[in-house]
């Protein structure tokens, strides 16, 4: 296995595929606001970055309207969208093997920590992690580097060069680099090879099996 003390995992697009729940939640919020609604695939770009930023960037909303959109998003997500989600094939086995090798995987997600914990409980995956860290509900701790620092502070502040971040978007890679740690980008989620390479990914995995090989090297 790769010689790292701590392996940090992103959630959306890395451990689970949340596309249906996230896009349904975004589209629900837009309809409630009377805003135009695009094709579902357009909203895949909401998977990864903080939602307030995404509503402002992709829908052109003001800060106030973005917060109302976020409230409506969570109205749907907390009831239905949170469960419109699937675990990527091979992930539970990978996590079990990391544990067997002496690692204690942790989660660093820009999704609110409350929701992340509910998702892992739903899929009986909480047992695989020594700590599950995410954003706060107010999204004052929502950027990936802020979440990573929060997680590291809760697991004893290991040296960055002994840590590895795994995620599917540039935000995961840039957040890791801002914290002086390497990142593995995964292509089975919602980022592209070009995006991950440009952000400075240490390695890029095309599949869960490829990720397993990288961690085994």
* Alpha-carbon distances of 70 from 15, 30, 42, 73, 195, rounded to whole Å: 23, 10, 17, 5, 26
Give 123's Cβ-side CA count (13 Å radius): 24
DSSP class of residue 89?
T
Closest CA to 82 of 144, 166, 24: 24
Tell me, what's the pLDDT at 203? Answer: 98
Identify whether the C-beta of residue 19 lies closer than 8 Å to the C-beta of residue 47: yes
pLDDT over threshold 80, residue 2: no
Please tell me the predicted confidence (pLDDT) of residue 1.
58
Q: Write a three-state SS string for 8-54.
A: EECCECCCEECHHHHHHHHHHHHHHHCCCCCCHHHHHHHCCCCHHHH
Is the pLDDT at 86 greater than 90, yes or no?
Answer: yes
On the question of pLDDT at 104 being above 90, the answer is no
The pLDDT assigned to 142 comes to 87
Mean of all residue pLDDT scores within the chain? 96
Residues of the chain with pLDDT > 90, as a percent, come to 92
* Predicted local distance difference test score (pLDDT) of residue 216: 87
Convert the pLDDT of each residue in 6-58 to its tens digit.
999 999 999 999 999 999 999 999 999 999 999 999 999 999 888 999 999 99
Q: What percent of the chain has pLDDT over 70?
A: 99
Active site residue 124: no
- Residue 83: the pLDDT is 95
Which residue ranges form the domains of the chain, and what is each CATH number? 6-17+85-216 (3.40.50.1000), 19-83 (1.10.150.240)
Of 5, 10, 79, 161, the catalytic one is: 10
Could you tell me if 136 and 117 are in contact, meaning their C-beta atoms sit under 8 angstroms apart? no
- Evaluate if residue 140 carries a pLDDT over 90: no
């Amino acid at each position: 296995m790769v010689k790292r003390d701590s392996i940090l995992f992103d959630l959306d697009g890395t451990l689970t595929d949340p596309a249906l729940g996230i896009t349904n939640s975004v589209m629900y919020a837009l309809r409630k606001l009377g805003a135009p609604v695009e094709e579902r695939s357009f909203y895949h770009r909401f998977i990864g970055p903080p939602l307030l930023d995404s509503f402002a960037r992709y829908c052109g909303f003001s800060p106030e309207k973005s917060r109302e959109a976020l409230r409506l998003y969570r109205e749907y997500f907390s009831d239905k969208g949170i469960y419109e989600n699937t675990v990527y094939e091979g992930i539970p086995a990978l996590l079990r093997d990391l544990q067997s090798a002496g690692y204690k995987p942790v989660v660093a997600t820009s999704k609110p920590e409350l929701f992340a914990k509910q998702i892992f409980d739903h899929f009986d995956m909480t047992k695989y992690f020594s700590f599950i860290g995410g954003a706060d509900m107010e999204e004052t701790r929502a950027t990936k580097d802020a979440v990573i620092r929060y997680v590291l502070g809760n697991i004893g502040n290991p040296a960055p060069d002994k840590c590895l971040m795994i995620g599917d978007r540039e935000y995961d890679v840039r957040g890791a680099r801002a914290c002086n740690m390497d990142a593995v980008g995964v292509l089975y989620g919602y980022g592209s090879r070009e995006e991950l390479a440009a952000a400075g990914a240490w390695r890029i995995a095309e599949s869960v099996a490829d990720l397993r090989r990288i961690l085994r090297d």
